[in-house]
Structures are given as C-alpha cells and as structure tokens.
Amino acid sequence: MTLADGTYRLGPSTGRLLIRTSRAGLGRRAGHDLTIEATRWSGEAVVAVADPDGSSVSVTVETGSLEVREGTGGLKALTDADRAEIKRTLEGSALLHTAEHPTITFRSTRITGTPQSFEITGELTIKARIHPVTVHGKSNDDRLLHGWATVTQSTWGIKPYTAFLGALRLADEIRVEFDVTGLEPVDGAG
C-alpha cells in the first residue's frame, strides 16, 4: 500500500501508539524498561504527497487508556500486580492526573520531507501545558509509516517515577513511537 493524497482517520484499527521508558539511578537494575500502549486514541491525517507543507496531523490520546504491555530488564519478571500498580501510578496526580487531564493532544504545525523520510513539527499538550515536539518518520516495505519522538517529561510538569528513595527512577526522556499499518479514508477521501 502506498501513501496517497487524502484525509484519513487514525486510531487503534490503523496502527499502534507506544511509549517506551528507560531506567536511571543506582538502583536501575531492580526496575524495568516499560513499553506502554495507548489503547484508545484517534486522529486525522491530511496527506498531500507532493506538498508536505499542505499536510497535517492531529492525534488525541485518552490518558486513562495507557496499558503496560512489556517490562524488560529488572531483577524479577513484571507481574500483573506490578502492571496494575504502574497503571495506578500513571493515572495519579504525580504523573498524568487523568481525572483532571483526560487527554493528551498533538497538532502538527509543519511537515517536511517525503513519505519515505519526514519530520512533523507540532504542539504536544499534556496536563494543559503546550510545548513543541518534532516527530521523525519514515516509510518502508514492512510498515506503511513508522515514527518516533523524544519527550522530556519534566517539560510538561511530570516528575519521573522514583522508588527506593530515588535510587531507582525512570529517565526523564521517554520515546513515543507509532506504527501506521493501514489507512481509513474519511468519507469521500482517498
């Protein structure tokens, strides 16, 4: 499938949206590098292949939909109880405060490059704070589109998780990744 001009819906039926964390601190061997998936998200992409600046992307993620999919490293395997505790921590006031801030949004402000290699500059809103982010992307034979951005949590007022009096902590920088495996045209497009 090749990328064609049009307006497309994005969401779990068209791809995956992942957050990857890493550990820091003296106790980092005890913790896990996490892969967290947004299970409820939606978006729209306007594609103008010959005129990338005429393209745009917007995505909204429900903060309560973040689910721990994998935990690698650590002294012991990640348990279901660990996953439940991580989800409670994510949703709490110290991190995302999902009750007060039920969504995270991204809106592109500029797109450059080609479908094979592109950059999307935009505004990421987390906990009512808006800051610029650059998404790097590419297209290849395996996936229609793949991309990633580095997000520094403290920029949005998120204090990275710590344990054992700070000896174990999540790194401030996390990696947000997406894979688009299919496209759903908005009625009359594509």
State both tokens at 185.
Answer: 């045209």
Residue 18 has pLDDT above 60, yes or no: yes
Q: Distance (Å, rounded) from C-alpha 159 to C-alpha 43?
A: 27
**How high is the mean pLDDT of the chain?**
86
Quote the pLDDT of residue 131.
Answer: 98
Q: Where are the domains of the chain?
A: 6-185
Residue with tokens 């594509």: 190
Average pLDDT for residues 47-66, to the nearest whole number?
93
Residue 37 has pLDDT above 50, yes or no: yes
User: Is 173 in contact with 8 (CB distance < 8 Å)?
Assistant: no
Closest by CA to 120, choosing from 57, 51, 50, is: 57
Alpha-carbon torsion (131, 162, 92, 63), positive or negative? positive
Q: Distance (Å, rounded) from C-alpha 154 to C-alpha 157?
A: 5
Fold type of domain 6-185 = Lipocalin (2.40.128)
Residues 6+ apart with CB under 8 A from 6: 46, 47, 183, 185, 186, 189, 190
User: Is 160 in contact with 173 (CB distance < 8 Å)?
Assistant: no
Quote the pLDDT of residue 189.
Answer: 47
SS3 state of residue 100:
coil
C-beta atoms surrounding 144 within 10 Å? 18
State both tokens at 30.
Answer: 């005890």
Quote the pLDDT of residue 112.
Answer: 95
Average pLDDT for residues 18-24, to the nearest whole number?
86
Quote the pLDDT of residue 89.
Answer: 76
User: Is 108 in contact with 133 (CB distance < 8 Å)?
Assistant: no
